[in-house]
Amino acid sequence: MRMTRRVALRNVWLDEIDNRIVVTAVEPGESEESTETAEAAAGFGQRIASQRRNGLPFTVRFKIWQNGRSAAGMQERAELLEKVNAWAANGGELRVNYKPGRRLLVKLEHAPGEGSLWDWDKEFTIAFRAYEIPYWEDSTVTAAPAIGGSSASKSGTAEVLGSTKTQADVQIANTSGKEITWVTVTVDGNTMTFGGTGDSLGLAANETLVLDHVNGLFRARIRNAGGSYRSVMAKRTTGSANDLTMLPGSRTVSYSAQRACRMNVSWRSRYL
């Protein structure tokens, strides 16, 4: 039964699985934060050493409007609950109807048990949690205009929405026609260099350096003209940033390389 509170996983709305499933509540929880501090050298106060968001819970409550006060009714309620648990089991991209254009990547923490299937008015609870990316983020990717193509260095601007830091994906295409031994990428002050003296990056003509993320984890690869990938994480130099992140606002992005390249930057804006 379609209500004003709706929730979808992997583009399947819970209330469309069966019209006897009624969503009674969708409850994004409070974020789970941790802060480490150290004593200030001045002899009073503290300074923040690190802050991180560790998770974001999300709860769904629902009822099954199928009278269970018969053997047949209890069987139908059990079958409907199995359908709901199958919908929830693998988690994935979660959306709600009142946050258009937003998503939350979740995993199932707690599936509802049957309890007393005789109780036809029973409310069930599903608990999800966003682990890798504990933020709501845009459902679609935003891309900045490509920069470069005929020069060995270039800078541009990325207009980032949202209310908190996000991760940037970068592609550096070798347009020079010759091999490139090193590339430096800077995103909002975070700099990474790949290759250098004695350890060539080996970015051949028409290949692309791809710096992206899977479930929030950074990876660095080269894609060849045939679409195959090889890792170049070992080519990242000492002193390079651990990740490429951007704060909301107008942020500077740039590259420099041994020879001409083209740079593309994309991201999903994130929200507290």
Establish if 1 belongs to a structural domain. no
Is 152 found in the same domain as 121? no
pLDDT over 70 percentage in the chain: 96
Report how far apart the first and last C-alpha atoms of the chain are (Å, whole number).
31
DSSP 23: E
CA atoms within 13 A on the CB side of 222: 24
- Are residue 57 and residue 130 in the same domain, yes or no? yes
The residue segments making up the domain with residue 206 are 142-271
Reported in sequence order, the residue ranges of 78-120 that DSSP labels E, i.e. its strands, are 92-96, 102-110
Q: Based on the domain organization, do 108 and 130 belong to the same domain? A: yes
User: Tell me, what DSSP letter sits at residue 136?
Assistant: E
255 pLDDT band, cuts 50/70/90, is: very high
How many domains are contained in the chain?
2
Is 146 in the same domain as 126?
A: no
Q: Given a cut of 70, is residue 134 above it in pLDDT?
A: yes
Residue 196 pLDDT more than 90?
no
126 and 157 in one domain? Answer: no
Q: 257 and 174 in one domain?
A: yes
pTM: 0.89
112 in a structural domain: yes
Q: Kindly report, residue by residue over 11-26, the tens digit of the pLDDT.
A: 999 999 999 999 999 9
Whether 70 is covered by a domain: the verdict is: yes
pLDDT at 43: 67
Same domain assignment for residues 133 and 147: no
Which CATH number is 39's domain given?
A: 2.40.30.200
Token look-up 């199928």 returns 66
Look at residue 2 and tell me if it is in a domain.
no
Same domain assignment for residues 96 and 162: no
Beta bridge partners of 63: 22, 123
Q: Are residues 41 and 74 located together in one domain of the fold?
A: yes
Is there a contact between 135 and 234 (Cβ–Cβ < 8 Å)?
no
Instruction: Note whether 128 and 206 are same-domain residues.
Output: no
- Domain containing 169 — which CATH number? 2.60.120.860
Mean pLDDT of the chain: 93
Q: Domain check: are 158 and 244 in the same one?
A: yes
| Band (114; pLDDT cuts 50, 70, 90) | confident
